[in-house]
């Protein structure tokens, strides 16, 4: 298999590139980046299957010319609200299978609509296979599978876990930070009362995590909120939420949102401030992850044996503390998806979010650790 790694030397992509270097059933890997020198230099860290090249993904003709010499595209080029849809369309046109870490809800909805086209071209495409989205979706799927019927799915994550990577080929604003600002300003789409709705981000809601009690969380703009209803048509509610180490974190974010929405400061300045904030935050303590909300989780509510029930799934604390940063948490799941595809454990054609049925979570999670999942069931509390 010949792999095209778009953004493969960036803050997220370098981790997936490192992981796939151990895969023996790959004959060629092209590390493509806007910065050609960095792409070439990074590719030189690996064996002779790896080469580096300069590539501007907004140049569709050149992008498709490169794609036609590859079998699979793994895309970590952000922000996805700028480039996600066009790159996937090109991959489908060139009959390249496709995996990405898309973390924006707007392009996710558009990319899922391309499923029939992908299927006709015999293409498998998985969008949003990082940490959140990605691991969070598959945790949500594990929770859903415990219930007889599901009405609500909430995926959540701890903001203090989202520390930007120091090393990247990227110049200027970090794409992940640009994404984060996009999802706390303006309006976001969620699924409530059996339909999609636009709402203000960072709205406070209260959730009950089985065995850990009630907690305040804050609605965030993310693909999980829109992809679960696409694949699970009986849902009444689908939300993605975040929480911080204190209420002060949320107050500061809301202030930053107001400043950008009111054009008191520019989006560029807002992104710089957000990146500074995230670098200042410490990782959640092990005690906090055991007693409070986990760093990442899926929480499903519905019925079990004709009784109201809820189930939550998270990674074990040991595995969470072994993850050193956002790049590792996001880049490795993307590589795991490619591994499953190369082993013929992902075979469905079309465009899918991670929970869409193309990935078996019981194939995926053992790639993280031997016993990585902790499941909390309301009927066992």
Average pLDDT, the chain: 87
Class of the CATH-defined domain 135-324: alpha beta
Delimit the domains of the chain by residue range: 2-131+328-364, 135-324
Q: Which two tokens stand for residue 69?
A: 């010499």
Of the candidates 327, 330, 336, 332, the residue with the CA atom closest to the CA atom of residue 359: 336
- Residue 207 host element (H or E): strand 204-209
Per residue in 103-149, pLDDT (tens digit) is 999 999 999 999 999 999 999 999 999 999 999 999 999 999 999 99
pLDDT at site 199: 92
How many residues can be counted in the chain?
381
CATH number of 2-131+328-364: 3.40.50.720
pLDDT at site 86: 98
**Which residue's entry shows tokens 């990674």?**
315
CB contact at 8 A, 103 and 128? yes
* Across 13-39, average pLDDT: 95
pLDDT at site 273: 58
Would you say residue 29 has pLDDT above 80? yes
* Across 46-70, average pLDDT: 97
* Across 325-336, average pLDDT: 85
Angle made by CA atoms 84, 75, 118, in degrees to the nearest 5: 65
Per residue in 289-306, pLDDT (tens digit) is 556 899 999 999 999 999
Q: Check whether the bond before 77 is cis (ω within 30° of 0).
A: no
Give percent above pLDDT 70 in the chain: 79
Long-range own/partner contacts, residues 325-328 (CB < 8 A, 24 or more apart):
325/163, 325/164, 325/165, 326/11, 326/12, 326/131, 326/161, 326/162, 326/163, 326/164, 326/165, 326/176, 327/11, 327/12, 327/14, 327/15, 327/165, 328/15
**Looking at per-residue confidence, does 98 or 265 come out higher?**
98
Specify the pTM: 0.87
SS3 369: coil
Per residue in 225-249, pLDDT (tens digit) is 999 999 999 999 999 998 875 555 6
Helices (H), the chain: 13-20, 36-43, 60-67, 80-93, 105-112, 115-120, 135-144, 175-182, 224-231, 247-261, 267-280, 286-291, 317-321, 326-342, 361-364
Would you say residue 169 has pLDDT above 50? no
Would you say residue 356 has pLDDT above 60? yes
Side-chain-facing half-sphere of 360: CA atoms under 13 Å: 12
C-alpha span between 169 and 11 (Å, rounded): 7
3-state secondary structure labels for all residues of 287-346:
HHHHHCCCCEEEEEEEEECCEEEEEEEEECHHHHHCCCCHHHHHHHHHHHHHHHHHCCCC
Per residue in 171-228, pLDDT (tens digit) is 444 555 555 666 666 789 999 999 999 998 888 999 999 999 999 999 988 999 999 9
Per residue in 263-298, pLDDT (tens digit) is 766 666 666 555 655 555 555 555 555 568 999 999
CA distances from 308 to 189, 210, 301, 345 (A): 27, 13, 8, 34
pLDDT at site 303: 98
């Amino acid at each position: 298999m010949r792999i095209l790694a778009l953004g493969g030397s960036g803050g997220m992509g370098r981790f997936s590139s490192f992981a796939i270097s151990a895969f023996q059933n790959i004959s060629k890997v092209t590390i493509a980046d806007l910065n050609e020198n960095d792409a070439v230099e990074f590719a030189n860290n690996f064996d002779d299957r790896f080469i580096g090249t300069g590539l501007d993904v907004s140049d569709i003709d050149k992008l498709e010319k490169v794609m036609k010499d590859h079998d699979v595209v793994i895309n970590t080029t952000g922000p996805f609200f700028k480039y996600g849809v066009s790159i996937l369309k090109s991959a489908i046109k060139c009959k390249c299978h496709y995996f990405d870490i898309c973390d924006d809800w707007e392009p996710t909805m558009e990319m899922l609509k391309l499923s029939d086209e992908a299927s006709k071209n015999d293409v498998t495409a998985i969008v949003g296979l990082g940490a959140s989205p990605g691991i969070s979706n598959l945790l949500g799927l594990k929770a859903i599978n415990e219930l007889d019927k599901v009405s609500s799915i909430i995926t959540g994550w701890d903001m203090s876990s989202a520390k930007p990577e120091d090393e990247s080929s990227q110049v200027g604003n970090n794409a992940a930070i640009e994404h984060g600002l996009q999802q706390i300003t303006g309006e976001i789409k969620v699924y409530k009362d059996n339909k999609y709705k636009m709402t203000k981000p960072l709205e406070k809601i209260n959730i009950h995590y089985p065995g850990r009690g009630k907690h305040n969380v804050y609605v965030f703009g993310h693909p999980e909120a829109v992809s679960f209803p696409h694949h699970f048509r009986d849902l009444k509610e689908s939300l993605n939420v975040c929480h911080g180490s204190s209420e002060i974190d949320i107050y500061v974010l809301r202030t930053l949102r107001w400043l950008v929405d009111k054009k008191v400061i520019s989006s560029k300045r807002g992104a710089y401030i957000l990146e500074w904030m995230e670098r200042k935050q410490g990782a959640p303590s092990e005690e906090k992850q055991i007693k409070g909300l986990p760093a990442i989780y899926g929480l499903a509510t519905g019925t079990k044996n004709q009784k109201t029930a809820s189930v939550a799934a998270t990674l074990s604390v040991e595995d969470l503390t072994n993850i050193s940063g956002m790049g590792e948490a996001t880049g490795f799941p993307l590589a795991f998806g490619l591994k499953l595809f190369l082993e013929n454990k992902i075979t469905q054609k079309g465009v899918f979010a991670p929970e869409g049925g193309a990935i078996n979570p019981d194939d995926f999670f053992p790639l993280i650790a031997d016993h990585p999942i902790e499941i909390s069931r309301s009927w066992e509390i």
